[in-house]
Amino acid sequence: MDETRLSTRNPDLAGLRVLVVGAGKSGLAAARLAHGRGARVTLCDSAPAERIADAVRRAGEFGIEVRTGGHPPALARDADLVIVSPGVPTNVPLLAAARQRGLPVWGEIELSVRFCRGRIVGITGSNGKSTVTTMTGAILRGAGIPGATGGNLDRPLGDLLGLDGPQAWHALELSSFQLETVETLHAEVAVVLNLSPDHLDRHGSLEAYGQAKARLLELQRPDSDAVLSADDPESARFHSAVRGRLHLFSTRRETEAGGFVRAGRLMLRTEQGQDTLLGVSQLPVPGEHNVANALAAALACRLAGCDPEAICRGLLMFRALPHRLELVAEVAGVRFFDDSKATNPASTICALRSFPAGSIHLILGGRDKGADWSQLVATLRNRVRQVLLVGEAAPALERLLAGAAPLRTSGTVPRATAEAFAEARAGDVVLLAPGCASFDQYRNFAERGDDFARVARALAGPGETRG
């Protein structure tokens, strides 16, 4: 194979043998994209065929060969290019064999950006990236700027290239798993919201996790814009990775270049001058963390060319995403909030700080990802009425949190929801912010949140609000 075919933008895939590893949404998107560019595609997944029957069927509709039940290294012998889904660890033997053969190993994002003609606002961080990506996309589209909103959020970039074009601005959520496998991704605006321990079961350390996030900044050019938090202590490590112009956002102090709060209003300070936006009290989503999210999205959109009026319109129209501090029911004056997307302790802490101290019944637990729970211990004191523990992590959390708050081992989300309501009084909050992955009892965080909402709404009697 002529290696120059893969060394540029718009690589020539015609007739090449492309192996896609992992048949989730990103893998299917990559397989379809490569197939549409003339490649001979094989899609493989470790799961048995019956577990991924829908993916097998959808791949078959495109004439894509599917191998199930494992990732045998021998598959690398028959490939010219390997595309790896973000959910597949980059050290599996098949990928090691591919690299040993000298094959390019890209992620779905890397494949997709090579065919992208528009510009990118890339958004990453441990917490808040889905919210900021959605806010950013809403502002851009409301301003009449074409493009797509997706990436790690909902739809892969490979499925969104129909919305691409020279005038497009794409708002892309990018996970650490996706950023591990990028080489040519260039974000004209790169936003890194924060850093806290997460996915340590895969990355091994906070340092390695942070290095994956920093790839977004390291691949920028000097004429690009980088947006970082001035409030998050761990974000200081990203300054050395910045290649473009640095802009900081803060809810606590004014920044020289970036976004901040003054007299209760969101403010931006950029090369275009100083802009006064809407008041903090006008934001339709609660919590200081959402003030920070709004500042980051507003700043990113201003740097992408949006005017202040369009930014204000977009923020005012924004509503909480499903499973992200979403009010799902109110029964007898008790409000039920679904923050199932809070899958690490830092996001649980953000959720807790969104409500008055002493009013919260917290549902916590699931599958631990190797997190550091020490900061949560301090936050729980005097802030929650009780903590209801669920899932695999419950026994360990019971030991770690002893003395920090009243604890109850409920085991499952439905049982915890009912038990919390039995102890709650009008004005209290039942909060699902589990700080853990959902895979011990559910297929994903959305299914867990839906289960919580179902039980909460079933508690409502005649005439009660069901959310």
Residues belonging to the active site: 129, 152, 199
Angle at which helix 308-317 crosses helix 129-142, to 10 degrees, equals 120
DSSP state of 96: H
DSSP state of 388: E
DSSP state of 352: H
Pick from 466, 432, 457, 460: which is nearest to 446 by CA?
Answer: 432
**CA–CA distance, 168 with 231 (Å, rounded to integer):** 31
**CA–CA distance, 272 with 376 (Å, rounded to integer):** 40
Residues in Cβ contact with 314 at an 8 Å cutoff, skipping those fewer than 6 apart: 135, 138, 139, 140, 142, 143, 297, 301, 306
HSE toward the beta carbon, residue 250, CA cutoff 13 A: 16
Strands 40-44 and 17-21: parallel
Residues in Cβ contact with 116 at an 8 Å cutoff, skipping those fewer than 6 apart: 157, 161, 164, 170
